[in-house]
Structure 1
C-alpha cells in the first residue's frame, strides 16, 4: 500500500502522518539520543491493525549521531497497543519537530498515485544498500518489515535521510517491539 501526500493535518491527528506530536500511552518518556543526550525529532505516526508505531530520530547535530543504525541509540521506534493514546508532552529543547505535519493517505500500489508518494506500508523493503533487517531486541527473531518512508514532498515536510535516502520501519508484533533505520 503506497502512502500518498494528503496535505496538511493537525499535529495530533490519529491518521497516518509525518510530523506533529506523537500519540502515546500514559507514562511515555520522550526518547533522548544515546550519543548526544538531546531530545529526538518525532518523524511519523503510523496506525496499524495491531497497534500504532511512533518513529523518532536524532537531528540535534545531523550526521554526527548514528541515526541510520537501528540499534545505535540515535533513533527509536515504539509500537503502542490498544486505545487511549494521547498527545505527548514535547520537550522544550532539541530538534523535536519536522517543519510541517503531513497526512499520509494509503493508496493501492497497482494504481496510479494521485500525488507525491511519501512511502508505503507492508510488502518488502526496497533497500538502497544491503538488507539491514533488525532482530527483535526481546526475542531475537528477524523483525517484520512494516513501512518505508521517503524524505518528503518539500523541504518543510522532509525528513533528513541524507538527501535521497529512505527510512525503514520494522515491528515484532508478538513482543510489541518496533525499530527504525535509514539508508542513503
Structure 2
C-alpha cells in the first residue's frame, strides 16, 4: 500500500436469504436468472461448449452489474480466472474477455432460487472475528485463504464468497472461497477460488 492509499476498510459479513419471489431488478443477488442490462451474453464452458451455471449478479458503481458464472459439473479449471470455466461479465458497456465464449441466451442453468444479501451478524465471522463472505467496494480488500492472487494491478474486489456460507452447494474445492474482481475501468471481470 502506498503512502497515499487510504487504509483498507473492515468488510461487513453478509449472508444470502431466500427472496419472496423471483428477483427481476438490477440488484445484488445469488441464484435465479440474470437481469440483463443489455443483450443476453450467457458464457459457455470452454471444455463442453454448454452454458455455464449462473451464480449471481452484483451491483457496481454507476448502476452496472457484474454477472458471475461457473461451469457447474465440477470441471477442472473453474478456479482459474482465465481458464474458460468461469466468467464475470459486466453490463452495460463491458467487454468480453478473449477466453470467454458467449451465446445470446437470456435464461439458463442456475445454482438455485433467488437469494438476497443481508448482514450476517455474529454468525458471519470465524472464531477470530474475521469475515470470509462480504461485498467489495472502495477500500475493501480480499481475505486470501492461500497466497495473494489478484488478477492485475488496481483490480477491485466485487465480492468474496465462502462456499460454507452459501445457501446452495458450489464447488470451490475443499472449504473454498471465491473472489470476483473488476478491472480498474470496471469493463471486465475475473473470478477465481482458493481452497484448503
The TM-score bracket by the shorter chain reads 0.7 to 0.9
Out of 29, 34, 42, the residue aligned to residue 54 of structure 2 is 42
Out of 95, 101, 121, the residue aligned to residue 113 of structure 1 is 121
Q: Structure 1 pair 104/54, CA: closer, same or farther in 2 (3 Å)?
A: same
More helix by share: 2
Alignment partners' CA distance in 2, 1:183 and 1:52: 24
Deviations 1:33-70 (A, max 9, x none): 112212100001111323211100001x31x3311010
Question: 1:132: how far off?
Answer: 1.3
Question: 1:21: how far off?
Answer: 0.5
State whether structure 2 residue 86 is matched by structure 1 residue 72: no
State whether structure 2 residue 114 is matched by structure 1 residue 101: yes
Alignment partners' CA distance in 2, 1:81 and 1:27: 9
Alignment partners' CA distance in 1, 2:39 and 2:87: 17
**Which stretches of structure 1, 4 residues or more, deviate above 4 A after TM superposition?**
114-118
Q: Is the 8 A contact 2:154 2:184 kept in 1?
A: no
Q: How much is the aligned-residue C-alpha RMSD, in angstroms? A: 2.5
Please list, as runs of the form range in 1=range in 2, the aligned pairs for 1:54-93 lying within 5 A after superposition: 54-59=67-72, 61-62=73-74, 64-81=75-92, 89-91=106-108
1:129 corresponds to which residue? 146
More strand by share: 1
**Higher alpha-carbon Rg:** 2
Alignment partners' CA distance in 2, 1:80 and 1:20: 18
Name stretches of at least 5 consecutive residues in structure 2 with no aligned partner: 1-11, 94-104, 126-131
Alignment partners' CA distance in 2, 1:2 and 1:49: 20
Q: Report how many residues are paired.
A: 162
Name stretches of at least 5 consecutive residues in structure 1 with no aligned partner: 83-87, 136-140
